[in-house]
Amino acid sequence: RIICMGNSSTFGWKVSIEQTYSKRLEVLLNQNLPEPEFEVINAGMTGYSTYQGLRFLKREILRFHPDIIVFSYGWNDMCPSTIKDTYQKFPPQWILNIDDYLSFSKFYIFQIH
């Protein structure tokens, strides 16, 4: 079991599930095997920083007993913020999922820019 953790680049912002690097990794690892042996879980969270990723790792991820964890954070740590990272609150995942889905709409993109 491999778990990929990170921010929007891991989550797959504006790409299909099949295009995320976690899904592509799973396909590559299993492609020459008679039965799939590798499970790759996408645990990317849009907007997360390394601080939030560490909290997520301790609270949720470790209980899945992964064999390997892939981390891909960074961009959100460099963004200027008016509040400390430890106090940041993000919308629930279902809202982020809707926003991700709507991001494929040219009308939606036009409205928010």
Q: What is the pLDDT of residue 113?
A: 41
What is the model's pLDDT at position 101?
Answer: 67
pLDDT (tens digit, 0 to 9) for every residue of the chain, 113 residues total? 999 999 988 998 888 889 999 999 999 999 999 999 999 999 998 888 888 889 899 989 999 999 999 999 877 777 655 556 666 665 677 776 776 666 666 554 444 44
In this structure, is the dihedral angle defined by the CA atoms of residues 61, 89, 98 and 50, taken in order, positive or negative?
Answer: negative
**Which distant-in-sequence residues (6+ apart) come within 8 Å of 3 by Cβ?**
40, 41, 43, 61, 64, 66, 68, 69, 70
State how far Cα 66 lies from the chain centre.
16
Structure tokens at 85: 């990272």
Which pLDDT score is estimated for 86? 63
At residue 6, the pLDDT reads 93
3-state helix, strand, coil in the chain (%, to 5): 50, 15, 40
- Tracing tokens 């990317």 back to the chain, one arrives at 44
The reported pLDDT for the residue numbered 41 is: 95
